[in-house]
Copies of this chain bind each other. A is one copy, B any other.
Amino acid sequence: MPLGDKLGWEKSESRYCGVETDFSEDMPQLLTFNISSGGFDFVVAPLMDPTYRPSLMEKDGGGLCVLPFSGSDLVLSPSQWSSHVVGKISSWIDLDSADETLRMDSETTLKQEIAWANHLSLQACLLPCPKGASCANYARCVNQILQGLNTMQLWLRIPLMKTEQDSMDVNSSNLIDSWELWNSFRLLCEHHSQLAIALDVLSSLPSVNSLIRWFGESVRAAIIHTDSFLTNARGYPCLSKRHQKLVTMFFNHSIQIVIGGKSVHSSPGASSNLVANNFDNNVEKSVQRHPLRSYLDYVGYLFQKMDPLPEQERFELGYRDFLQSPLQPLMDNLEAQTYETFEKDSVKYIQYQRAISKALLDRVPDEASITTVLMVVGAGRGPLVRASLQAAEETGRKLKVYAVEKNPNAVVTLHSLVKLEGWEDIVTIISCDMRYWDAPEKADILVSELLGSFGDNELSPECLDGAQRFLKQDGISIPSSYTSFIQPVTASKLYNDVKSHKDIVHFETAYVVKIHNVARLAPSQPVFTFTHPNYTSTKSNQRYKKLQFEIANDAGSAMVHGFAGYFDAKLYKDVHLGIEPSTATPNMFSWFAIFFPLRIPVCIQPGSPLQVHFWRCCGASKVWYEWCVTSPASSAVQNSNGRSYWVGL
Q: Does A322 contact B (CB under 8 A)?
A: no
Given contacts A136-B546, A140-B628, A188-B628, contact A603 B643 (CB under 8 A): no
- Could you say which residues of chain B place their CB within 8 Å of the CB of A134? 546, 630
Whole-angstrom CA separation of A190 from B600 in the bound complex? 12
Residues of B within 8 A of A630 (CB): 134, 136, 184, 188
Tell whether A350 is near chain B: CB-to-CB under 8 Å: no
The answer to whether B140 touches A615 (Cβ under 8 A) is yes
Cβ < 8 Å to B, chain A residues 58-113: 103-104
With A136-B630, A140-B628, A636-B190 as contacts: A147 and B641 at CB distance below 8 Å: yes
Q: Which of A293-321 contact B (CB under 8 A)?
A: none
Q: Contacts A184-B630, A630-B134, A643-B147; is A140 near B637 (CB within 8 Å)?
A: yes
Residue of chain B at shortest CB distance from A612:
B136
Q: Is A247 an interface residue (CB 8 A)?
A: no
Contact A637 B188, beta carbon cutoff 8 Å: yes
Give CA–CA (A137, B636) in the complex, Å. 12
Among A529-574, those with CB < 8 Å from B are: 540, 544, 546
Query: A635: CB under 8 A from chain B?
Result: yes
Determine the chain B residues whose CB is within 8 A of the CB of A636 once the complex forms. Answer: 143, 187-190
A633 sits at the interface (CB 8 A): yes
CB contacts (< 8 Å) of A185 on chain B: these are 634
Q: Closest residue of chain B to A103, judged by CB?
A: B544
Give every chain B residue within 8 A of A544 (Cβ-Cβ). 103, 137
A140-B613 contact given A633-B603, A634-B183, A641-B148, CB 8 Å threshold: yes
Cβ-based interface call for A640 (8 A):
yes
Q: Which residues of B contact A144 (CB under 8 A)?
A: 640-641
CB distance from A457 to the nearest CB of B (A): 19
Report the nearest B residue to A185, measured CB to CB: B634
Interface 0/1 of A606-626, CB less than 8 Å to B: 000000010100000000001
User: Does B634 lie within 8 Å of A137, measured CB to CB?
Assistant: no
A139 within 8 A of B: yes
Query: Cβ of B188 and Cβ of A140 under 8 Å apart?
Result: no
Question: How many identical subunits does the complex contain?
Answer: 2
Scan A478-516; emit 1 where CB is below 8 A from any B CB, else 0: 000000000000000000000000000000000000000
Is A640 within 8 A of B184, CB to CB? no
The A355-397 residues at the B interface (CB cut-off 8 A) are: none
List 25 A–B pairs whose Cβ atoms lie within 8 Å, in order of A's numbering.
A103-B544, A104-B540, A134-B546, A134-B630, A136-B630, A136-B634, A136-B637, A137-B544, A137-B613, A139-B637, A140-B640, A143-B636, A144-B640, A144-B641, A147-B641, A183-B634, A184-B630, A184-B634, A185-B634, A187-B633, A187-B635, A187-B636, A189-B636, A190-B636, A600-B600
In the bound complex, do residue A634 and residue B140 qualify as a contact, i.e. CB atoms below 8 Å apart?
no
Question: Which residues from B are CB-within-8-Å of A103?
Answer: 544
**Shortest Cβ distance from residue A173 to the other chain B in the assembled complex, whole angstroms:** 15
Q: In whole Å, how far is A329's beta carbon from the nearest beta carbon of chain B? A: 27
- Separation of A544 and B189 alpha carbons in the complex (Å): 17
What are the 9 closest A-B residue pairs judged by CB atoms, nearest first?
Answer: A187-B634, A190-B636, A184-B634, A136-B613, A140-B637, A143-B637, A143-B640, A144-B641, A188-B637
**A96 CB to nearest B CB, Å:** 9
In whole angstroms, what is the CA distance A103 to B641 when docked? 18
Q: Flag if A140 contacts B626 (CB, 8 Å).
A: yes
In the complex, what residues of B have CB within 8 A of residue A139's CB? 637
0 or 1 for each of A178-206: is its CB under 8 Å from B? (1 = yes): 00000111011110000000000000000
Q: Which residues of B contact A633 (CB under 8 A)?
A: 187, 603
Decide: A189 and B140 in contact? CB cutoff 8 A.
no
Q: How far is the CB of A359 from chain B (nearest CB, A)?
A: 32
CA distance in complex: A635, B187 (Å):
6
Nearest opposing residue in chain B for A140, CB measure: B637
Nearest opposing residue in chain B for A101, CB measure: B538
Q: State in angstroms the CA–CA spacing of A139 and B636 once bound together.
A: 10
18 other A-B residue contacts (CB within 8 Å) besides A184-B630, A185-B634, A188-B636: A103-B544, A136-B628, A136-B634, A137-B544, A137-B613, A140-B637, A143-B636, A147-B640, A147-B641, A148-B641, A184-B634, A187-B633, A187-B634, A188-B630, A188-B635, A190-B637, A600-B600, A603-B633
The CA-CA distance from A640 to B142 in the complex, in Å, is 10
Contacts of A143 in B (CB 8 A): 636-637, 640
A530 to chain B, nearest CB (A): 16
0 or 1 for each of A630-649: is its CB under 8 Å from B? (1 = yes)? 10011111001101000000
Q: Nearest CB to that of A633 among chain B residues?
A: B603
Known contacts A613-B136, A640-B144: A188-B634 contact under CB 8 Å: yes
Give A127-152 as 1s and 0s: 1 = Cβ < 8 Å from B's Cβ atoms: 00000001011011001100110000
Residues of B within 8 A of A137 (CB): 544, 613, 615
With the chains together, A104 CA to B537 CA distance in Å?
14
Residues of B within 8 A of A136 (CB): 546, 613, 628, 630, 634, 637
CA distance in complex: A371, B287 (Å): 84
Roughly how many angstroms separate A338 CA and B630 CA in the complex, as a whole number?
Answer: 49
Determine how close the nearest CB of chain B comes to the CB of A410; give it in whole angstroms: 37
Smallest beta-carbon distance A387→chain B, Å: 38
A386-436 interface (Cβ within 8 A of B): none
Chain B residue at minimal CB-CB distance from A135: B630
